[in-house]
Amino acid sequence: MVWLMRAALVVAILVHTGPAGAQVAVKKELTLEGARQVIAAAVMEARRDSAGGAIAIVDEGGNLVALERLDGTFAASANISIGKARTAAIFKKPTRAFEEIIRGGRTPMLALSDFTPLQGGVPLMFEGQVIGAIGVSGGASAQRDEEIAMAGAGATKAFAGKAAAVSPSVTYIESPKVAAAFAKGMPLLEVDGYKVHASRREGPGVAEVHDWETDVVYVLDGSATLVLGGTVVEPKVIEPGQIRGPII
């Protein structure tokens, strides 16, 4: 890779320029993989007694993330399950509570839009936050719908360990340090498996080959031309996995 540039470069960098204050909050978000795990747990419960069912997963805003309808389940169950899940998510309560309230005489609640007060919708909780909901319709009974939904919702208990295992730490680098690094063209961070370099180039660079590293290059100032591919002329191994040459 030949570098022809008059620019300041940075590779995979996080820059902290000041406190964010209380204007933003950290939220947990349900992923598609998480939704699939919830559905898998619900399907396992449904098949325990050969129950049918449509299983819908929505995010915290009630938007559909995933849907599965088991064989033999009536077609309308799909939309009903979505409605149950959406109601549980946006109201942050199991839909059984609303069904009981309406049966108790508070029928004006039926005038609410996008509202499915039928047993079988359960919020999905993670670390005290509602991250979505599951809705089930088409089981042998309303009680069975809720049991299947509860089994699916229980899958979120396994999320905590997995999140802790894969959640990376974040390193903030103060802006004065970043500016000083660019002025000298020096590394900002070097740890096992990860490097952040604040490079400064004012002319053509050499050809570089990295056997097992991937460069992510951001041009922050000026312009750059990167030439990729080809064969390095007069290659020299400067360290394991690093080859340099005058040109490609």
The reported pLDDT for the residue numbered 74 is 94
What fold is seen in the domain 32-165? Beta-Lactamase (3.30.450)
Per-residue pLDDT of the chain (248 residues; tens, 9 = 90+): 444 344 444 444 444 444 545 677 778 899 999 999 999 999 999 998 887 899 999 999 999 999 999 999 999 999 999 999 999 999 999 999 999 999 999 999 888 988 999 999 999 999 889 999 999 999 999 999 999 999 999 999 888 655 555 555 677 788 888 888 888 878 877 766 677 888 877 777 788 887 667 777 878 788 878 777 778 888 887 766 677 888 88
Per-residue DSSP letter, 106: -
The reported pLDDT for the residue numbered 193 is 64
Q: Coil, strand, or helix at residue 82?
A: helix
How many angstroms separate the most distant Cα atoms in the chain? 86
Contact 199, 3 (CB under 8 A): no
Contact 198, 186 (CB under 8 A): yes
The reported pLDDT for the residue numbered 54 is 96
Using a 10 angstrom Cβ sphere, with 0-12 exposed, 13-18 middle and 19 or more buried, the burial of residue 90 is middle
Cα–Cα separations (whole angstroms), residue 133 to 33, 139, 245: 14, 18, 57
Q: Where in the chain do CATH 3.30.450.150 domains reside?
A: 32-165
The reported pLDDT for the residue numbered 151 is 93
The reported pLDDT for the residue numbered 14 is 43
The reported pLDDT for the residue numbered 240 is 66
The reported pLDDT for the residue numbered 218 is 77
The reported pLDDT for the residue numbered 22 is 62
Structure tokens at 80: 């009903």
